[in-house]
Structure 1
Amino acid sequence: MTLTITAEPTLIEQDSNGVVRVAKTRITLDTVVTAFLEGCTAEEIAQQYPSLQLSDIYLVIGYYLRHTEEVNTYLAQRQREATQIQQEAEKRFNPIGVRDRLLARRNQSQ
């Protein structure tokens, strides 16, 4: 029997918003890499995200290990964008006292 060696396709793709996802899922590269960096095994990641195939998780982790610098740069950029969005949202909608305001509205309507 002869083993046929073929290149595996890259299972990550960038969506229209620039977010890198595991192909054909809604799971982001950030999610898989962060779980891996926090010490989760591929099997644990598969349990947390059943839409991912175990073999795909290993391919994504392998991609990360081969492209660590680029992926870390991408992750840092995503974190900066998330922080900026959160700050803008907090400027528009002050989170301090939200619970009290909601309770006051509920009490007024009763």
Structure 2
Amino acid sequence: MTLSIALEPTPIETDAYGVVRVSRTRVTLDTVVTAFLEGCTPEEIGEQYPSLQLPDIYLVIGYYLRHRDEVRTYLAERQRQANIIQEEAEQRFNPIGIRDRLIARRNQSR
């Protein structure tokens, strides 16, 4: 008997907004790679994100290990975009003193 060796496609896809996700889930590539870099095993990642299949987690990590530079560039760009969005939100909605404002608003409505 011979073993039939088949190449498995990496289960990742880019959504309409340019975000790379594990296929057929809402879990992002960022999430899986960050968990892996923080020391989580594929099994632990699967426990944290039950929508992921264990073989897919291994394939995604394998993709990261084979394409580190490209993935790191992608992750850095995603972080840059997140920082811009956070800055814009903080300019529109000043987070300083928000707790006090919410408590005051709640007390006014009583």
- Identify the TM-score tier after normalising by the shorter chain: over 0.9
Aligned equivalents of 1:97, 1:54: Cα separation in 2: 44
The corresponding residue for 1:49 is 49
The corresponding residue for 2:67 is 67
The corresponding residue for 2:78 is 78
Percent identity (aligned): 76
Aligned equivalents of 1:91, 1:77: Cα separation in 2: 21
Question: Which ranges in structure 2 are unaligned for 5 or more consecutive residues?
Answer: none
Query: Helix, strand or coil for the counterpart of 1:24?
Result: coil
The corresponding residue for 1:9 is 9
Question: Which ranges in structure 1 are unaligned for 5 or more consecutive residues?
Answer: none
Deviation at 1:3, TM superposition (A): 1.1
Query: Helix, strand or coil for the counterpart of 1:64?
Result: helix
Aligned equivalents of 2:109, 2:79: Cα separation in 1: 40
The corresponding residue for 2:24 is 24
The corresponding residue for 2:106 is 106
Say what the alpha-carbon RMSD is for the aligned residues.
Answer: 0.6
Amino acid at match of 1:7: L
Aligned equivalents of 1:105, 1:42: Cα separation in 2: 46
TM-score (normalizing by structure 2) = 0.98
Q: How many residues are aligned here?
A: 110
Deviations 1:29-57 (A, max 9, x none): 00000000001100110110011011110
Amino acid at match of 1:9: P
Query: Which 4+ residue blocks in structure 1 deviate beyond 3 angstroms?
Result: none
Aligned equivalents of 2:86, 2:71: Cα separation in 1: 22
Query: Helix, strand or coil for the counterpart of 1:21?
Result: strand
Query: Helix, strand or coil for the counterpart of 1:13?
Result: strand
Amino acid at match of 1:51: S
Aligned equivalents of 1:7, 1:47: Cα separation in 2: 26
Amino acid at match of 1:82: A
The corresponding residue for 2:95 is 95
TM-score (normalizing by structure 1) = 0.98
